[in-house]
Amino acid sequence: MTKIKFGTSGWRAILADEFTFENVRIVTQAICDLLREKGETGKGVVVGYDTRFMGRRFALEAAEILAANGIKAFLCKRDVPTPVIAFEILRRKAAGGINFTASHNPPEYNGLKFSSSWGGPALPETTGEIERRANEMMGEMTYREVSLKKGMDEKLIEIIDPIEPYLEDLKKKVDLSVLKGMNVGVDHLYGTSRGYLDTLLEDAGCDIIRFHEHPDPVFGGRPPEPAEENIRDLIEKVKGDSTISLGLATDGDADRFGIVDKGGRYIEPNYIIALLLDYLIRTRGWKGGVARSVATTHLIDRVAKKHGVEVYETPVGFKYIGELISEDKLVIGGEESAGLTIKGHVPEKDGILACLLVAEMVAREGKSVTEMLDNLYSEVGTVLTRRVNIHLQGSGLKDRLKTLPSSFAGLNVDKVVTIDGTKLVLSDGSWVLIRPSGTEPVVRFYAEAFSQEGLDRLTESGKALISGQ
């Protein structure tokens, strides 16, 4: 029997294989037991889902299990963005949230993500405890559940529509007034951001061209990740229409963003985080540091140095950044995988917020993203970054990483960081990171340098090290 395993952002598995109604009931019961032990059963739990296959049915099952345990379920009436669930947890002072989403994973996956009462993704000690309890119950659990009707009659299940409070909150955090007359392309990638991102832009006076705005559980046959290869329709439209100022995209549960600059250039998330750090400090006058994962660009460090702010380096997984946001230590926190949030906002990735902030920045500065990036480079220096997924051929990588090289690609290794994977910081400030996947025979290799030639050299050396050549 396959064990339930929580990863960096919840439990994800293939539908009808490991992700089944039986296992969903077990994990939900484990959450109920944990909340009871903590004395938090009276606060209620927000339950949501994205547009994946059977998402609403899984959410109903979870709500019924919660109700049978005497825990009120605030069940979202339609598919809902992950950051909205975080916002609703905080607004209602709930005990947490259960969200059925596999985020940007391929359509054959679904997932269950548990968020804690502070609004962020549950930390490893919490998910580890849920995991332990769930696995102990597998094959032995007798379910306690009530019907949706009975749960609603007993006021233990309440259907909620969280859209308006969230939209009103974003209006206070983004200056939408500067967007009037802007022509914007929006790609929902068949996910949850429809009615959220497009509505705010339209209400601000933007002309909107929408892509993939209807729910589709198979996401058009692609992973719902707003990476360059998955938003070609948006890119081609922005490229071919000189009147469009910006292209904006979100992933399936709207916690990640994709940015297409005027002319059709896709902008890596790394650069967006650095640009927004600089922009928010200049325009908001906020105090605080910046958090980035170990895999995220050091261009952020250069911007932080320019403004004299502290940099927090975290393991991969937004829960670590969310914790710092909840402690009010940051101006902004972000990951290279297109997740960010800002001071005073939810301690969770928010692709809707990210898209709106980029639109505000472009409108207020009166420049394209590329022009702003070139200006930033002129102030702090050029930084180029790359991520490559390398499929392992055979084993032995762990053994090779036990003895780390003193030099890499002709440069001395000045520092080794092992908080998540193996990161080699080199003598000129460039770096590489090797992170084996925990679920598939793939290594994620990250490299950063200051010229295209240097980046290519690091990439080739990394491939050789990983393959054992």
Residue 201 sits in the same domain as residue 188: yes
Residue 283 sits in the same domain as residue 415: no
User: What CATH number is attached to the domain comprising 459?
Assistant: 3.30.310.50
- Token pair 């399936």 is found at 252
Mean pLDDT of 135-147: 74
Residue 390 has what pLDDT? 84
Residue 147 has what pLDDT? 72
* pLDDT confidence bin for 155, thresholds 50/70/90: confident
Number of independent structural domains in the chain: 4
Q: Per-residue pLDDT for 1 more than 60?
A: no
Distance CA 349, CA 417 (A): 24
Q: Would you state the torsion angle of the CA atoms of residues 16, 19, 25, 29, taken in this order, to the nearest 10 degrees?
A: 170
Residue 401 has what pLDDT? 74
Q: Per-residue pLDDT for 253 more than 90?
A: yes
| Domain-terminating residue out of 163, 194, 214 | 163
| Domain-terminating residue out of 217, 234, 266 | 266
User: What CATH number is attached to the domain comprising 12?
Assistant: 3.40.120.10
Write out the DSSP string of 245-266: -EEEEE-TTS-SEEEEETTTEE
Q: Indicate the angle between helix axes 163-173 and 351-365, nearest 10 degrees.
A: 30
Letter string b/e over residues 34-60, b meaning 16 or more CB atoms within 10 A of that residue's CB: bbeeeebbebbbbbbbbbbebbbebbb
- Within its chain, how far is the Cα of 357 from the centroid? 16
Residue 16 sits in the same domain as residue 159: yes
Q: Per-residue pLDDT for 289 more than 70?
A: yes
Residue 288 sits in the same domain as residue 207: no
Let me know: does 180 contact 355? Beta carbons within 8 Å.
no
Mean pLDDT of 423-428: 97
Assess if residue 106 is contained within a domain.
yes
Assess if residue 364 is contained within a domain.
no
Residue 86 sits in the same domain as residue 190: no
Burial of 336 (C-beta count, 10 Å sphere; 0-12/13-18/19+): buried
Residue 315 sits in the same domain as residue 328: yes
Let me know: does 187 contact 234? Beta carbons within 8 Å.
yes
Q: pTM of the entire structure?
A: 0.95
User: Residue 438 is part of which domain span?
Assistant: 384-467
What percentage of the chain has pLDDT greater than the value 90? 87
Q: What is the pLDDT of residues 383-399, one digit of tens each?
A: 999 999 888 765 667 77
Residue 404 has what pLDDT? 81
What percentage of the chain has pLDDT greater than the value 70? 97
Residue 67 sits in the same domain as residue 150: yes
* pLDDT confidence bin for 357, thresholds 50/70/90: very high
Which is higher by pLDDT, 280 or 463?
Answer: 280
Residue 158 sits in the same domain as residue 219: no
Token output for 305: 């140095």
Residue 428 sits in the same domain as residue 459: yes
Q: What is the pLDDT of residues 85-107, one digit of tens each?
A: 999 999 999 999 999 999 989 99
